[in-house]
């Protein structure tokens, strides 16, 4: 089990980071918030979870141990795999997920792409005694402003398609939440808003 990585950031995408450790570049799938916190050429230390399949080894990176632990815990629910678990953390912070599960807030959980009413009920039922209570602070620090050029739209659409939406659904959602012309574009925020729109 690879529990963490500590090295130099070699590249950053919307939902992935490459960290060089001992001369080896490790690709880590991550939430937009985690990815946006990494800077090329700067040190990065991320908690990780290695998902092993017959035909693949996939590494997921997280800003905190708490995110990593929740990512692994939610996968104990039948029907939730690593992609959906990562989508949960892209839309909601760990404490927001805890609060939704504790209060049986199905409406909040169904904002996550791929989670319908029945899935939300199953998540609450199976995780109520596993996640614990949210801490006093339920918010997540807002990511810094992005300096992305026009290709930000394609990046967001690509991330949404990777999470299971069709290109048309993704494009329509992005158009609904896109900043007005001239406004600064925060890619992570646009993606989260698009995910909430698709989850309605």
State how far the Cα of 33 lies from the Cα of 66, in Å rounded to an integer.
Answer: 14
CATH entry, 70-127, from 3.30.2320.80, 1.10.150.20, 3.30.360.10, 3.40.1190.20: 1.10.150.20
Per-domain residue ranges of the chain: 4-62, 70-127, 152-199
Identify the burial level of 167 via C-beta atoms within 10 angstroms of its C-beta, where 0-12 means exposed, 13-18 middle and 19 or more buried.
exposed
Terminal Cα-to-Cα distance of the chain (whole angstroms): 36
pTM of the model: 0.67
Tell me, yes or no, if the two domains 70-127 and 152-199 fold the same way.
no
pLDDT tier for residue 45 given thresholds of 50, 70 and 90: very high
What is the structure's pLDDT at 149? 34
Please provide the average confidence, as pLDDT, over all residues in the chain.
83
Task: Give the residue-averaged pLDDT of 132-151.
Answer: 47
State how far the Cα of 108 lies from the Cα of 101, in Å rounded to an integer.
Answer: 9
State how far the Cα of 103 lies from the Cα of 113, in Å rounded to an integer.
Answer: 20
- Domain covering 152-199 in this structure, CATH number: 1.10.8.10
What is the structure's pLDDT at 61? 95
> Phi, psi (5° rounding) for residue 58?
-120, 130
Summarize pLDDT for 180-196 with one digit per residue, the tens.
766 777 777 888 888 88
CATH entry, 4-62, from 3.30.70.260, 2.40.50.140, 3.90.1150.10, 3.40.50.1100: 2.40.50.140
Summarize pLDDT for 96-139 with one digit per residue, the tens.
899 999 999 999 898 888 888 899 999 999 998 888 777 654 44
Summarize pLDDT for 78-90 with one digit per residue, the tens.
889 999 999 899 8
Beta strands 56-62; 24-29: pairing state: parallel
């Amino acid at each position: 089990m690879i529990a963490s990585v500590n090295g130099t950031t070699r590249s950053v995408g919307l939902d992935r980071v490459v960290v060089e450790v001992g001369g080896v570049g490790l690709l880590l799938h991550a939430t937009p918030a985690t990815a946006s916190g990494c800077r090329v050429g700067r040190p990065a230390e991320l908690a990780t979870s290695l998902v092993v399949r017959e035909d693949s080894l996939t590494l997921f990176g997280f800003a905190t141990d708490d995110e990593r632990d929740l990512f692994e815990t939610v996968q104990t629910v039948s029907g939730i795999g690593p992609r959906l678990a990562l989508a949960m953390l892209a839309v909601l912070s760990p404490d927001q997920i805890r609060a939704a599960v504790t209060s049986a807030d199905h409406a909040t959980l169904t904002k996550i792409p791929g989670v319908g009413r029945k899935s939300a009920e199953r998540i609450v039922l199976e995780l109520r005694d596993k996640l614990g209570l949210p801490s006093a602070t339920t918010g997540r620090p807002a990511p810094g402003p992005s300096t992305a050029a026009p290709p930000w739209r394609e990046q967001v659409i690509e991330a949404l398609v990777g999470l299971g939406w069709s290109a048309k659904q993704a494009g329509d959602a992005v158009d609904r939440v896109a900043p007005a012309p001239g406004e600064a574009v925060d890619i992570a925020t646009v993606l989260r808003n698009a995910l909430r729109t698709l989850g309605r």
